[in-house]
Structure 1
Amino acid sequence: METPEWFRDALATPCSTYEVESGGVRIAVRAWGPEDAAGVVLVHGGAAHSRWWDHIAPMLGVEYRIIAVDLSGHGDSGRRPAYELSCWAREVVDAVEAARMAPRPVVVGHSMGGWVALTVGAEHDGAVGGVVVIDSPVRERSPEEVAAASRRAFGPLRTYADREHALARFHTVPEQEGNLPFVMRHVAAHSLRDTGEGWTWKFDPAIFAQPRPRPEMLGKVASRVALLRAERGLVTPAIGAQMYELLGRAAPVIELPLAGHHPMLDQPLSLITAIRTLLADWEHSAPRPRCF
């Protein structure tokens, strides 16, 4: 499949990088857009990294200051002896404080990153203006956790003799049909690190030992919330309805047509449109009162 112009333009958009220390660990951050503008924070899923957003962030609008964070244990950030949602949420807040963006950005999280975004909303309400959750089922384990527990994936990291062999082994969990080859190539290329003795994945397998959020945590999220449900993903209509109730019947549940659990890989333009729509609406509307 030919790489489309919009994708090439997105990757060519100027991007800066910086690091922030959070709890004694170095956190890597990528940033787009003008300083002091309204902010958007993008949080990747389990075993992923900030560069899953490279083709999404520049398409959200030139009027925003956008950052994408490598959570500890992921991407180019440092590792910890153990990982917790509260710790990752603190990393997001520390990255925001160093980002030179307007106060109270919108935090967008995918899969496990959606749990992190909700934790930011629950524990750091003053730091966030809204939370967008992308296919993050709160009442079930993430597919990455299930695969790690069953040893189908994310076990001890394998080292490959050459980069091309490693790239050929890259796949998503859960696997899904319809991933765009040009997006997959880009994401895979930035998922590897050179150990000096071969190539291996950047994530720390210990990330999957962290506890899952309990459903009652949703009632503690004070900021406004929107749920993006992938049609072919993990948040079924029933799970979406339950999360809607737990969030006080005030969080819209929006379906991404034909999308799998990783919509930035198979339906990126639908994902971009959904996030753009929410950002535009939230700039000109007040949150709906919650009903508990």
Structure 2
Amino acid sequence: MPDAPARSTPARSAPAWFTEALATPADTGEVEVAGVAIGYRAWGARRSHGAAGQGLVLVHGGGAHSRWWDHVGPLLVQGRRRVVALDLSGHGDSGRAQDYRLDRWADEVVAVARHAGAGERPTVIGHSMGGFVALTAALRHGHDLTGVMAVDSPVRERSPEELAARQQRAFGPMRVYPGRETALSHFRLVPEQEGDLPYVLDHVAGHSVREVPGGWSWKFDRGIFSGLGLTPGELDSVACRVALFRAEYGLVPADMGEMVVDLMGRAAPLVEIPGAAHHVMMDQPLALVTGLRTMLADWEYSVPQVPARAPGS
């Protein structure tokens, strides 16, 4: 899949780890799921289908895209993993669907994992609304997954992106801007936050727009923000491991995280990322990588725990 041009503003004081991550070669591919072309990027060597627990699938939030993970994915390869980041339908460079549902997106995640060579029983990591998708994948395909990790996903409520759209605070009628730089000047996070690393923000913004008739516009389809709620009470029936991450200054209060952990019979660890706001990869990416690496290392050697009422448990 062709990459969008990078934002014209040079990366502002980007450290070596960031520039090296972006320079890591990535495979690109596409698979059709339910009649819609789903694009993805991948780092690390392909895994055979019999290679268990060696693949990761990264799922972006609502209105975002796979390039939010460009500086995170390569740091999770660690020499042996296949790491895949996809554009859900209605996002990024993937195709548009007539309607959008969490189960559709969960099926896309599993299909991409297989097509991209993520091996048998990969782990799915989702941020914000992407955490809703990851948890839905656990409900629908848990026996085919090692586990899922949801990063600052307020599963007791609507996703922050859907809520902002319903309240008309963001994601309004799709605007067309006369030039690329004009469009980029309107890029902002939802919800907004302080402390973002400017070089990360520049990179993500630069891959968030596309040329359309009459100018430039955002890549996402506004139709994605309908009917996405996930009921936490369902989470006691997942058949794979689950881990929850909350940002210290994010959208998942400590009591909400504990409520979900209780619903799952205390089988899901809850990890706080210190100093982070909701968009963790924007302000605390290395802390996020450290937390994910630690949990992945634990899952390689510890005895799996799943909710008490999970099928087959």
CA deviation string 1:215-269 (max 9, x = no partner): 1121121110110000000110110011101122011100000101110000000
Aligned to 1:25: 36
Q: Report Cα offsets for 1:24-70 as digits up to 9, x if no partner.
A: 00000111101116100000000000000000000112211010010
The alpha carbon displacement at 1:289 in A equals: 5.6
Distance 1:290 1:127, change over 3 A: closer
Do 2:174 and 2:217's aligned partners in 1 also have CA atoms closer than 8 Å?
Answer: yes
Matched, 1:54 2:73: no
The one-letter amino acid paired with 1:13 is: T
Does 1:101 find its partner at 2:99? no
Give 1:146 shift: 1.7
Structural mapping, 1:1-292, within 5 Å: 1-36=12-47, 38-60=54-76, 61-288=78-305, 290-291=307-308
Looking at structure 2, the residues matched to 266 and 225 of structure 1 have their Cα atoms a distance apart, in angstroms, of: 24
**% same residue:** 56
Structure 1 segments of 4+ aligned residues over 6 angstroms from their partners: none
Aligned-partner SS, 2:172: coil
Cα distance in 2 for residues equivalent to 1:193 and 1:164 = 11
CA distance in 1 between counterparts of 2:134 and 2:307 reads 19
Unaligned runs of 5+ in 2: 1-11
Q: Secondary structure at the match of 1:157?
A: coil
1:33 is aligned with what amino acid?
Answer: G
Q: CA deviation at 1:202?
A: 0.3
Cα drift, residue 291 of structure 1: 4.8
Normalised TM-score (structure 1) = 0.98
Does the 8 Å contact 1:82/1:210 carry over to 2?
A: no
1:169 offset after TM fit, Å?
0.8
Contiguous gaps of at least 5 residues in structure 1: none
Most deviating of 229-238 and 282-291 = 282-291
**TM-score computed with the length of structure 2 as normaliser:** 0.91
- What RMSD, in angstroms, separates the aligned Cα atoms of the two structures? 1.1
User: Aligned pairs, how many?
Assistant: 292
- Paired with 1:54 and 1:5, the residues of 2 have a C-alpha distance of 14
* Cα contact 1:249–1:291 (8 A) shared by 2: no
SS in structure 1 at match of 2:271: strand
